Chain A
Amino acid sequence: MTDAPTTDRWIRHLNLLQLVLAGIIIMTPTVWMVLSSLKPSFEVTAYPPTLVFSPTLENYVELMKTTPFVSYAVNSLIVTIGSTSLGLLFGIPAAFAVSWTRISWPAILTLAARMAPGTLFLLPWYVMFRQVGMIGSYTALILSHAVITLPIVIWVLMPSFDGIPRSVFEAAQVDGCSVTRILWRIALPLVGSGVAVAAILAFVFSWNYFLFALVLSNGDSKTLIAAAFNFIGEGSTQWGALMAAATLIALPPLILAALVQRWLVSGLTLGAVKG
């Protein structure tokens, strides 16, 4: 066993090598997207592709000039913030009640909604929203996206509420606190970081969601994700502007995810793994 330390060092080096390799595979496409968005338009489609170029923001300027990018972004923000708020408003009390009573069917019901293909609800929604003239309205989009945010909020928060010792609640009850009061005054402040993670995950997945806005939005209420399709249609040769749009659309979720990356795993698996 005289060469054990040498072997160990080799294994460590080998592992680092694999880590770097994985990092390169993961990062290259994203880096390529950002680089392409910063290339002068004649260089984006150059073949062989260039790596050295003088970066410019002309693609971003072009994007803002030729498409209503900003108003799509505003639509996305309204729908995402609206559906995240709705998810929190309904999800926080539900998660608390499920955690308190251990009666889990309300949580499972919302999860089943997350598992079924979106097209399954989209047909009846389309028929119903059309009947009441709500196609293209923010209300329809916010309600549909809340179907995405609600189970995220509930399943991220349940373990947080579970983590509060029962004695805290019992003491409050002896003091004559009602259950509702315990939730808002005592439990909620204790799970602040859980609420932050739930809100950010809900925001990210609502922002990223494509299918509902594809059908339920119209020219005025189109979200960025639904409009991405138009950027592709127009921009078959405008790769620079297309990559600028892709970069800008990806930015908000990436920044938010970076903020809470440490707590993401347990949140993303809907409590399946205690991370």
Chain B
Amino acid sequence: MSDAAATLTQDRQRLELSALSAPAVIFTVAMIAFPVVYTIWLGFQSFSSTGQQSFAGLANYAKLASDYEFWHGLWVTIALYVLSLFLQLVFGVWLALVLFHAKRLPGIVRSMFISPFMMPPVVAGMMWLVILDPSLGAANYILQSLGLPPSEWLASPTWVIPTVALIDSWQWTPYVALIVLGGLQSLPPSVYEAAQIDGASPFKTFQRITLPLLLPTIVTAAILRSVDLLRFFDIIYITTQGGPGNASNTLNIYGFRVGFEFFNIGYASALMLTLTAIVFGAVLAFNRLRGAVAW
């Protein structure tokens, strides 16, 4: 084959490969990139009550700084995020270790363990709404039979955030566990043998060897959960709609209401862009952390 013919074939091949990814790229640009640019533009606009649109500069962002509901939403988002992530990582690692030592798991058991996060979050919200009902729910009945005081759960401004964190952790801890289990299974068995020969206790082995080696996997799980937790929406919208009062009004719920209930498009755009920046910031920070704990 001559050089010219080879170049021609290569060009043709490159063209074909571009054509193969073109539909996905064009679709994503049309559905995502273009709307995001539009949202950025909307964030600089203000809409009067008569529908008159005008350039507002940074007014929407300045409004964020003085908007009590924004800061409250940020606090709710962070509190819910930290609590849920903590629960899910701690119990996820525990569950992964338990599953790891169980060795052979029948398919039916595995299906059981993935069932919470394969069902719609909306369904999780529905079932827990009934279980946690303050007057007729099974949860309070169990508490009372154990001699403990009943809780208002989702109806209590104090307890709503821990309760929602609990529901989400019920749903997603098995997911974290499966990721960590994947990490455990890929660790070289030789490190355990060395520790055993040295006579290390199981706890010491875990603390000194397993945990450090697992850190990159745990950080990966943290990234995947952060993306969902910082945009917390479904379970709250189904169970409390941000209530009682505004006690569970996360930024995502607040932004949604500003946009679709109050139709304040400009301000909602500024809110959503801020939330997006927070999500991407968290992902980038964790990515750096993953680089630091890699081995």
Give chain A's interface residues, CB within 8 Å of chain B: 11-12, 15-16, 18-19, 22-23, 25-27, 29-30, 32-33, 36, 45, 47-49, 89-91, 93-94, 96-98, 100-101, 106, 109-110, 112-128, 143-144, 146-147, 150, 154, 178-180, 183, 204, 207-208, 210-211, 214-215, 225, 228-229, 231-232, 239, 242-243, 245-246, 249-250, 253-254, 256-258, 261-262, 264-266, 268-270, 272-275
Using Cβ atoms and an 8 Å threshold, which residues of chain A touch B183?
A: 273
For residue B155, CB closer than 8 A to chain A, the reply is no
The CA of A30 and the CA of B109, in the complex, are separated in Å by: 15
Contacts of A229 in B (CB 8 A): 122, 237-238
Q: Of A32, A113, A124, A210, which is within 8 A of B42 by CB? A: A124
Select one of A126, A214, A215, A265 contacting B178, CB under 8 A.
Answer: A265
Given contacts A100-B17, A110-B28, A261-B111, contact A246 B123 (CB under 8 A): yes
Q: What are 5 A-B pairs at a CB distance below 8 A?
A: A33-B130, A100-B17, A110-B24, A123-B269, A258-B107
The complex places the Cα of A183 from the Cα of B20 at a distance, in Å, of 10
* Distance between Cα atoms of A231 and B125 in the complex (Å): 12
Q: Are B112 and A225 in contact (CB under 8 A)?
A: no
B24 touches A150 (CB 8 A): yes
Contact B120 A225 (CB under 8 A): yes
Please state if B141 and A47 are interface contacts (CB–CB under 8 Å).
yes
Q: Judging by beta carbons under 8 Å apart, are B21 and A33 in contact?
A: no
B112 contacts across to A, CB distance below 8 A: 23, 26-27
Q: A97-B20, A121-B36, A178-B16 are in contact. Are A210 and B120 (CB under 8 A)?
A: yes
- Interfacial chain B residues near A262, Cβ < 8 Å: 107, 110
Judging by beta carbons under 8 Å apart, are A117 and B35 in contact?
no
Give the Cβ gap from A208 to chain B, nearest Cβ, in Å: 4
- Give CA–CA (A167, B228) in the complex, Å: 40
Contact B276 A210 (CB under 8 A): no
In the complex, are the beta carbons of B109 and A23 less than 8 A apart?
yes
Question: Nearest 5 A-B pairs (CB), nearest first?
Answer: A94-B24, A124-B35, A208-B120, A93-B20, A257-B118
Q: Which of A112, A123, A147, A207 contacts B120 (CB 8 A)?
A: A207
Contact assessment for A15 and B98 in the assembled complex, using a CB-CB cutoff below 8 Å = yes
Whole-angstrom distance between the Cβ of A81 and the nearest chain B Cβ: 17
Name which residue of chain B comes closest to A49, CB basis.
B138
Known: A246-B123, A272-B224. A93 touches B21 (CB 8 A): yes
The answer to whether B102 and A257 touch across the interface, beta carbons within 8 angstroms, is: no
Q: Which residues of B sit under 8 angstroms from A269, Cβ to Cβ?
A: 179, 182, 220, 224
- B contact set with A: CB distance below 8 Å: 12-13, 16-21, 23-25, 27-29, 31-36, 38-39, 42, 94-95, 98-99, 101-102, 107, 109-116, 118-124, 126-131, 135-136, 138, 141, 170, 174-175, 178-179, 181-183, 185-186, 202, 217, 220, 223-224, 227, 230-231, 233-234, 237-238, 252, 255-256, 259-260, 265, 268-269, 272-273, 275-276, 279-280, 283
Contacting pair A228 B122 (CB below 8 A): yes
> Could you tell me the distance between the alpha carbons of A264 and B121 in the complex, rounded to whole angstroms?
18
Which of these, B27, B102, B120, B255, contacts A16 with CB under 8 Å?
Answer: B102
* Contact of A272 with B127 in the complex, beta carbons under 8 Å: no
Least Cβ–Cβ distance between B193 and chain A, in angstroms: 16
B23 and A90 within 8 A (CB)? yes
Closest chain-B Cβ to A113's Cβ sits at a distance in Å of: 4
Q: Looking across the interface, which residue of chain A has its beta carbon closest to that of B91?
A: A22
Chain B's closest residue to A109 (CB) is B28
Q: Give the chain A neighbours of B280 by CB distance below 8 A.
A: 115-116
- Interfacial chain B residues near A113, Cβ < 8 Å: 28, 31-32
In the bound complex, CA of A242 to CA of B239 (Å)? 13
